[in-house]
Structure 1
Amino acid sequence: MTTIRPGAGETAPGLTDSGEQPAPLGATGLPVGKAKSMFRLGFEVFVQNRLAIVGLFLLLAAVLFCFLGPLIRPSNQITVNLDQVTLPPGPGHPLGTDETGYDQLGRLMTGGQVSLIVGFSAAVIATIVGTVWGAIAGFFGGWVDAVMMRIVDAILSIPILFLLLFLVTIVKPSVPVMVFVLGLTAWLVPARLVRGESLTLRVREYVQAVRVMGGTSWHAVLRHIMPNVVGTVIVNATFQVADAILLVAYLGYLGLGIAPPSTDWGGMLSNGTAFVFTNYWWLIYPPGLAIIIVVVAVNLVGDGLRDSVEVRLQRR
């Protein structure tokens, strides 16, 4: 038997230059032990998006301002003080006071709490309901899909703002009511998106394998369909937050928001427009800028999350 020996400067097959056995490769093409986890890859992609980092910083700053600010700088947001009505910014009132004597800076914090709580809570409800509804409709198909999606189409045919105006006129607006109303009117869009993804995923080999191996349909929906639409769900959830904050602002601007003495940014903006010709700028610009900054920040974070959960980018 002839033995083949490596020549000068050559390395034996399966050995490194130092004569050691190379480490086996993982699924990502990197040596085992050095292969990056999917979470780390997604985190690196997110960090590379500078606009997403800016949006995350602005969003965190808004949350700290609204929820930690009142603890650092408390102000009276219950008792009306008619001796300090519409005071300009100055010592003791960095953003002045409003038409009822409330400190405008404290009012901005209180209104931000309502807007953020309603926005995020309504987005969570809408995302959960829409994901489950769309996944079931898309996976089962047939008459189940037809009935469920016709319900979605029927509700979508009604303008959402009109539906909200109708609902808030028959119930007293409060934070739980606003969360419930916005959540149950915003799940329609994610339901249609997830349903479209489910129609594609249900014919994949790994989903068909579940049926062949005797797995139940609910197992396929919960373990294979819903986890694989996470990218679509996460991106849409961020847009749901932005839309919910804007809808709260719309209702507050129309005078159908949270009842006094509570408020939200839309209600503050609505009250400020009554003084647009009196040069009381501190009643208009702060709540308006707060709405714009938070909505833009949420959308920037959504763009970053979309890139980070994209399988194509995670495996590049």
Structure 2
Amino acid sequence: MSVQPGGQIAGGVDAPAAGPAASTPGTPAVSRGGPAKSLFRLGFEVFIQNRLAIVGIVVVALAILFCFVGPLIYRTDQVTVDLTLANLPPGPGHPLGTDGSGYDVLGRLMVGGQTSLIVGLAAAAIATIVGTVWGAVAGFFGGWVDGVMMRIVDAILAIPILFLLLFLVTIVRPSLPVMIFVIGLTAWLVPARLVRGESLTLRVREYVQAVRVMGGSSWRSVSRHIMPNVIGTVIVNATFQVADAILLVAYLGYLGLGISPPATDWGGMLSNGTQYVFLNYWWLIYPAGLAIIVVVVAVNLVGDGLRDAVEVRLQRR
């Protein structure tokens, strides 16, 4: 059979009507018979399909409730040292026993979790903000500005972060604000490099060039076009920054350079518990160790889910 002009097949049979045009790359998926889905909705659907990410959110939410609401329900004295209650095993009145200073371990776990979570979240926020601005400016302007700014980043990255943290906390007295400031200002380097790479590709886009042609300022291009378009990368990296900050707090606490007593963190509790490892005082080691592992893994699972959600290939499948 041959096709005649006008879309007819020889023999009088009309050719079938053309189907919907194939979606072009870069456009949201369109459901049959329905409106196009927004990128946010597509990302949300991809995220909720990741069961491990949902489990991670639940675990993080429970950890926050445990650390900040728990002390309001289960009240303990975490200031006064009482050696008559030292190293009691789990039992009535002390579900997880007591430590060498007579502090209730369950209450101590809540207080230590507050420090770890506050430092982790606040330091990650500082690192993300500083790194995003630094990387966006370096990538947008390029040239000698990019060269100078990124050489500063490379020079700091050449120093092991843990060594730099140990140096900083030995010259200043560790406290909650100091821990946040120190960890935040050593963790912004990775997001700076990530955002800088994204900015190098975004600055040549048509809408960014249009701002220049229309007389818009460079800061407007960075703040209104570069930074909003790297938000997916920034959000994903921020979750991993939280996990890294919690681990750094645990490292410093384990080395005895954490927050000063009577305050504590999970790393400090773990460090104190290792002194009794040969006495089989397991309640001084396992609770803090498991808390660190569970929370860090949960935050990483959330980060993996967000990474899938903002991945363009998955959003536009």
Q: TM-score, normalised by structure 1?
A: 0.89
In structure 2, give the amino acid aligned to 1:216: S
| Distance apart, 1:312 and its partner CA | 2.9
Structure 2 portions without partners, runs of 5+: 1-13, 18-26
| Distance apart, 1:33 and its partner CA | 7.6
Say yes or no: does 1:220 pair with 2:221. yes
Tell me if the contact between 2:236 and 2:307 (Cα under 8 Å) persists in the aligned partners.
yes
CA distance 1:216–1:30, shift in 2 (3 Å):
farther
Task: Kindly provide the CA deviation profile for residues 29-66 of structure 1, in whole angstroms up to 9, marking residues without a partner as x.
Answer: 35898443332222111100011011111111111110
RMSD after superposition: 1.9
In structure 1, give the amino acid aligned to 2:143: G
In structure 2, give the amino acid aligned to 1:148: M
Q: Please give the secondary structure, in 2, of the residue aligned with 1:61.
A: helix
| Distance apart, 1:209 and its partner CA | 1.9
Q: TM-score, normalised by structure 2?
A: 0.89
Say yes or no: does 1:299 pair with 2:312. no
Give the aligned partner of residue 21 of structure 2: none
User: 2 CA distance for matches of 1:222 and 1:258?
Assistant: 36
Q: Please give the secondary structure, in 2, of the residue aligned with 1:274.
A: helix
Structure 1 portions without partners, runs of 5+: 1-9, 14-25
User: 1 CA distance for matches of 2:159 and 2:304?
Assistant: 29
In structure 2, give the amino acid aligned to 1:234: I
Q: Please give the secondary structure, in 1, of the residue aligned with 2:278.
A: coil
Query: Percent identity between the aligned chains?
Result: 80
| Distance apart, 1:159 and its partner CA | 1.1
User: 2 CA distance for matches of 1:27 and 1:271?
Assistant: 54
Give the aligned partner of residue 116 of structure 1: 117
Say yes or no: does 1:136 pair with 2:129. no
| Distance apart, 1:311 and its partner CA | 2.9
User: 2 CA distance for matches of 1:109 and 1:72?
Assistant: 11
Task: Kindly provide the CA deviation profile for residues 235-290 of structure 1, in whole angstroms up to 9, marking residues without a partner as x.
Answer: 11111111100110000001000100000000000000000000000000000000
User: 2 CA distance for matches of 1:178 and 1:281?
Assistant: 28
| Distance apart, 1:83 and its partner CA | 1.1
**Aligned positions of 1:19-34 closer than 5 A:** 28-30=29-31, 34=35
Q: How many residues align?
A: 295
User: 1 CA distance for matches of 2:164 and 2:106?
Assistant: 33
In structure 2, give the amino acid aligned to 1:255: G
CA distance 1:80–1:227, shift in 2 (3 Å):
same
Say yes or no: does 1:180 pair with 2:181. yes
**Aligned positions of 1:144-293 closer than 5 A:** 144-293=145-294
In structure 1, give the amino acid aligned to 2:153: V
User: 2 CA distance for matches of 1:196 and 1:43?
Assistant: 26
Give the aligned partner of residue 23 of structure 2: none
Give the aligned partner of residue 38 of structure 1: 39
Give the aligned partner of residue 107 of structure 2: 106
